[in-house]
A and B are shown apart, each in its own frame.
Chain A
């Protein structure tokens, strides 16, 4: 089975802090994605990556950056956390081309 692991289930951070969300997949997938999920808004794509050291902006990249130094790991970085970044963050991976995205359990981030 595909496994996508997010390092934290819950995080509480203060405004202005630098926040790292980590995601690891064990299926040698080329593609990895970061989404945020808010009530009534569904899943919105923040960033995605097709390959190591490659990244593409999604629909809402402002205030975020990403890093993919190894194929299995994709990190989301909040350079200076703000309260409007309080949300559920979901990581996903998929094989090359297009296809099923497999999701992690999510990280619920609260910025106070």
Chain B
């Protein structure tokens, strides 16, 4: 079946720099997307979401960009901090599947000092 994937399994950035985590999705019927953060030993934590009728949404230090033309989603983290070190997942909701989400395999973000 179709699935959500990620371009980079590990991303290393310096503290203070901006981070960009990418996600490719293959199902054009997806209408809702979520980014999660998972720290070691913890469950995934909601960061930000976006609906398919939007192309950008901003939160606190985070921005999600959606490009439906190329089926691409990205998470931008401004001024990356050591506490941002975690695995980041994108997830998609496909129209007609009610509340089910399909998750990508994750990208590990490592913040160096």
Q: Which residues of A contact B (CB under 8 A)?
A: 4, 31, 40-43, 45, 48, 50, 58, 90, 92, 94, 96-106
**Do B106 and A42 touch (CB < 8 A)?**
yes
Main secondary structure of the interface of B (DSSP, over half): loop
**Do B104 and A48 touch (CB < 8 A)?**
no
Q: Which of B44, B93, B100 contacts A90 (CB 8 A)?
A: B44
Number of interface residues of B (CB under 8 A): 22
| Known contacts A42-B105, A43-B103; is-contact A50 B43 (Cβ 8 Å) | no
Contacts of B104 in A (CB 8 A): 42
| Known contacts A42-B89, A43-B89, A43-B103; is-contact A97 B98 (Cβ 8 Å) | yes
Q: Which of B32, B43, B89, B103 contacts A98 (CB 8 A)?
A: B32
**Do B34 and A100 touch (CB < 8 A)?**
yes
CB distance from B41 to the nearest CB of A (A): 8
Complex Cα distance A1/B43, Å? Answer: 15
Q: Which of A4, A42, A96, A98 contacts B93 (CB 8 A)?
A: A98
